[in-house]
Amino acid sequence: MRSRAVSMAGPAMIFVALVASPAEAQTPLGYVQARGSTVTPAYEGWYPNPDGTITLSWGYYNRNSDEELVIPFGPDNFMEPAEFDGLQPTHFTASRQWGAFGVIVPGDYAGESIKWTLEVRGKTFMIPSNLAADWLIDALVGDADRNLPPELAFQEDGPWFAGPGGAYHALEARTWTPTPIHIWARDDGGVASSVRSSGRRAVPVRLTWLMHSGPGEVTFDFDEESDRIPIEGGTMAVMATFAEPGEYVIRVRANDASGVSGAGHSQCCWSNAFLRVSVSN
């Protein structure tokens, strides 16, 4: 078994510059250092859902190679309008994280642009959404590159879902009591063109368990081989232990043959599942 502890405790630390227009939204990745640098939010684009709604995909870039940052909800980490606040992460793992969560709006959404603001270390960065046609994530709408993202489900018989926006499932847990979390996954076996050109072919779906938000430390215990699920489908279970009471969100990311960093810009190759865990003493 392998254990990994993720802490949400500690001071807020992070962010940078003001972005006011879509043309400015994709800034250079910038200098990376071990610790003490910034994190910037990223708007990845949007895609339509089968029910007629639209999902807006968001990620971020943590420029620290050895520092995972924590920015609690509040004046240093918020989304506008307020109805969308709280979906964003408060825990930021190192490097570029594509499509870490989604915001769902009606298909005819005509409200104000949705904005994510982060502030830390004396710097502020705000980035707005954009529903223009050139922000459409076509890799999720018709197999644009002969590859669709893995599908996930909270039960063996579904319903199945895919894409960065994922779906949510509620659980209850008690502090310091290992809680089983199950997820099912499957894949179409396709790979992105960049992966095909490298000679790589379909591989098992790889699952990664990530802290998304919450007030304390979480430890995941799982078998090192069980995070790989055959493309035809299967299940994985982990034991999650929570150190503090409160409301948590755990993100489960399923990657196909493109890998964790492969084809991130096209959003073609992974899906998220989110578990809202209410933890009591």
User: Considering only CA atoms, which of 95, 92, 138, 134 is closest in space to residue 116?
Assistant: 92
CATH number at residue 234: 2.60.40.10
- Same domain assignment for residues 126 and 186: no
Q: Are residues 156 and 66 in the same domain?
A: no
* Domain range for 173: 138-280
pLDDT at 95: 87
Position 31 pLDDT exceeds 50? yes
Judge if 276 and 151 occupy the same domain.
Answer: yes
Q: Which of 112, 133, 154 is the last residue of a domain?
A: 133
- Rounded to an integer, what distance in angstroms lies between the CA atom of residue 267 and that of residue 99? 7
Cβ–Cβ < 8 Å for 60, 210: no
Q: What is the pLDDT of residues 89-121, one digit of tens each?
A: 999 998 889 999 999 999 999 999 999 999 988
How far apart are the C-alpha atoms of 215 and 73, rounded to whole Å? 10
Q: Are residues 110 and 15 in the same domain?
A: yes
* Number of folded domains that form the chain: 2
What local confidence, expressed as pLDDT, does residue 199 receive?
53
84 shares its domain with 198: no
Are 197 and 249 in the same domain? yes
201 and 128 part of one domain = no
Residues contacting 212, CB < 8 A, separation 6+: 89, 90, 91, 100, 101, 248, 249, 250, 251, 274
Tell whether 171 and 215 lie within a shared domain: yes
Percent of the chain at pLDDT > 70 equals 77
Do the Cβ atoms of 213 and 8 come closer than 8 Å? yes
**Pair of tokens at residue 142:** 């018709």
Q: Quote the CA–CA distance of 16 and 14 in Å, as a whole number.
A: 8
> 156 and 188 in one domain?
yes
Average pLDDT over residues 25-36: 63
Query: Which pair of structure tokens corresponds to residue 166?
Result: 């994922």
Domain boundary among 133, 164, 191: 133
74 shares a domain with 153: no
Q: What is the pLDDT of residue 22?
A: 35
What's the DSSP call for residue 94?
Answer: S
| C-alpha gyration radius of the chain | 18
Boundary of a domain, candidates 116, 133, 150? 133
Tell whether 17 and 73 lie within a shared domain: yes
Are 200 and 120 part of one and the same domain?
A: no
Task: Quote the pLDDT of residue 90.
Answer: 97
Q: Rounded to 5 degrees, what angle do the CA atoms 254, 78, 10 make?
A: 75
